[in-house]
């Protein structure tokens, strides 16, 4: 039986926050529950950047009943004027007497000031209830707000022997329907999806979100050093935004033709290959806070080698492809010694239909 205590209300607030995951852009997901006299009197979540913060929605619902209440918030209430006024001032003016916070806001504009301001006003503040869950929920925001770099999740579907196609290049399908549905959910939850031009030339994917209910389409990013992409590629259609990342050297007339199709062309790197680290910085500046990297093997390998991967989600199908020469999920030179190989930590496994999804984080991050 779930006990009625601070954790219970915080869990509810975390569930409200998690529901909006993928729809707040560069903002965090945040939930708030207001409780007075043993009764929930207000609930809210931040739903969209520029619109009300979680506390505002919950306090609006509570109305007069916020006076003397406890507010449970999954992130420290903000203390700054962003696109909306500070939540801590609103909590104070509504007469809330106790605020329970899961974790502090890593935004340098807030970073403890919200909690300080509440305490200054005589409000009892408790910090750290279900803190780990709240930090995990906002892992993309936590990186982006501190470094202005997108959080990159490498996702790949592969065989038990690490192949992403047969020796002829045949790849439909590796994993089952449930896994593919999970991938579309991941697309909804990310600001952008990224692939190499090799994948576009081989599979002509659309890279939109297709689920049984409507979902949000991520911005589609293609890494294409030599602008080999076809102007009729489905990834450039009008279903969603598209960005092609190329080099300084790439053909300007082709870039111009792509721009005429409504595609944004970013030039990153003066050499023959796209400078991936620079690309991440430029995409971050452009307001992309999370990227789902969907391959192929060469781009996966290059991103791993460059240390640009924050998280891996590996969907293993119970199949063995076995052929030498079949494309691998991670194509890169690799080190000579076992002591130098890339290791994952915080590894978890989840069964999805007949497949297994392994989630982990590069150990040196």
CB 1 within 8 A of CB 33: no
Q: Which of 55, 94, 224, 310 binds ligand AOF (CB under 6 A)?
A: 55
Tell me which of 2, 7, 51, 55 is the catalytic residue: 55
CB 156 within 8 A of CB 174: no
Length of the chain: 365
Q: Does 279 bind ligand AOF (CB under 6 A)?
A: no
C-alpha 10/C-alpha 73 separation (Å) is 7
Task: Supply the minimum distance, in Å, between the C-beta of residue 277 and ligand AOF.
Answer: 24
Find out whether 51 is annotated in a ligand binding site.
Answer: no
Could you tell me how far CA 362 lies from the centroid of its own chain? 16
Task: Supply the minimum distance, in Å, between the C-beta of residue 146 and ligand AOF.
Answer: 11
Q: Does 339 bind ligand AOF (CB under 6 A)?
A: no
Q: Which stretch binds Zn ion (CB under 5 A): 79-87, 142-150, 325-333, 340-348?
A: 79-87
Task: Supply the minimum distance, in Å, between the C-beta of residue 120 and ligand AOF.
Answer: 17
Q: Which helix (H) or strand (E) holds 356?
A: strand 355-362
List beta partners, residue 264. 243
For the beta carbon of residue 261, count every other beta carbon within 10 angstroms: 14
Q: Which stretch binds ligand AOF (CB under 6 A): 71-79, 170-178, 205-213, 280-288?
A: 71-79
Find out whether 157 is annotated in a ligand binding site.
Answer: yes
Q: Does 54 bind ligand AOF (CB under 6 A)?
A: yes
Which residues between 160 and 179 bind Zn ion (CB under 5 A)? none
List beta partners, residue 195. 222
C-alpha 269/C-alpha 249 separation (Å) is 9
Q: Does 143 bind Zn ion (CB under 5 A)?
A: no
Q: Does 27 bind ligand AOF (CB under 6 A)?
A: yes
Q: Does 78 bind Zn ion (CB under 5 A)?
A: yes
Q: Which of 12, 16, 20, 28 binds ligand AOF (CB under 6 A)?
A: 28
Q: Which of 58, 59, 87, 154 binds Zn ion (CB under 5 A)?
A: 87
Alpha helices per DSSP H over 191-327: 197-203, 252-260, 276-285, 297-305
Largest CA distance in the chain: 70
Find out whether 46 is annotated in a ligand binding site.
Answer: no
Pick the closer one to Zn ion by CB: 92 or 194.
92
Query: For this structure, is 324 an active site residue?
Result: no
Find out whether 298 is annotated in a ligand binding site.
Answer: yes
CA distances from 7 to 38, 131, 143, 328 (A): 14, 10, 26, 44
Q: Does 351 bind ligand AOF (CB under 6 A)?
A: no
Residues 6 or more apart whose Cβ sits within 8 Å of residue 3:
none
Pick the closer one to ligand AOF by CB: 134 or 219.
134
Residues in contact with Zn ion by the rule CB under 5 A? 53, 78, 87
């Amino acid at each position: 039986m779930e006990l009625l205590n601070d954790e219970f209300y915080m869990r509810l607030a975390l569930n409200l926050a998690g529901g909006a995951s993928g729809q707040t852009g560069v903002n965090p997901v945040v939930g708030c529950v207001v409780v007075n006299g043993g009764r929930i009197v207000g609930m809210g979540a931040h739903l969209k950047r520029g619109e009300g913060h979680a506390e505002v929605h919950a306090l609006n619902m509570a109305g007069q009943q916020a006076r003397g209440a406890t507010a449970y918030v999954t992130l420290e209430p903000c203390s700054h004027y962003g696109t909306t006024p500070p939540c801590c001032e609103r909590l104070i003016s509504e007469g809330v007497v106790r605020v329970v916070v899961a974790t502090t806001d890593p935004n340098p504009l807030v970073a403890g000031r919200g909690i300080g301001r509440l305490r200054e006003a005589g409000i009892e503040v408790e910090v750290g209830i279900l803190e780990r869950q709240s930090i995990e929920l906002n892992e993309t925001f936590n990186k982006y707000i501190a470094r202005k770099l997108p959080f990159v999740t490498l996702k790949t579907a592969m065989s038990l022997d690490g192949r992403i196609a047969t020796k002829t290049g045949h790849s439909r399908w590796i994993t089952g329907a449930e896994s593919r549905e999970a991938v579309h959910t991941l697309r909804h939850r990310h600001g952008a999806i990224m692939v190499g031009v090799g994948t576009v030339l081989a599979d002509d994917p659309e890279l939109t979100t297709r689920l049984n209910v409507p979902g949000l389409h991520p911005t589609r990013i293609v890494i294409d050093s030599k602008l080999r992409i076809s102007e009729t590629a489905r990834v450039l259609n009008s279903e969603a935004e598209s960005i092609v990342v190329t080099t300084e050297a790439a053909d300007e007339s082709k870039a111009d033709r792509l721009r005429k199709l409504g595609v944004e062309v970013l030039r990153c790197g003066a050499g023959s290959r796209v400078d991936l680290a620079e690309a991440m910085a430029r995409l971050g500046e452009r307001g992309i806070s999370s990227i789902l990297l969907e391959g192929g093997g060469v781009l996966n390998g290059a991103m791993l080698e460059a240390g640009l991967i924050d998280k891996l989600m590996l969907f293993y199908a119970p199949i063995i492809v076995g052929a030498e020469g079949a494309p691998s999920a991670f194509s890169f030179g690799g080190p000579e010694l076992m002591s130098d190989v890339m290791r994952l930590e915080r590894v978890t496994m989840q069964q999805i239909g007949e497949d297994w999804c392994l989630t982990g984080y590069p150990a040196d991050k």
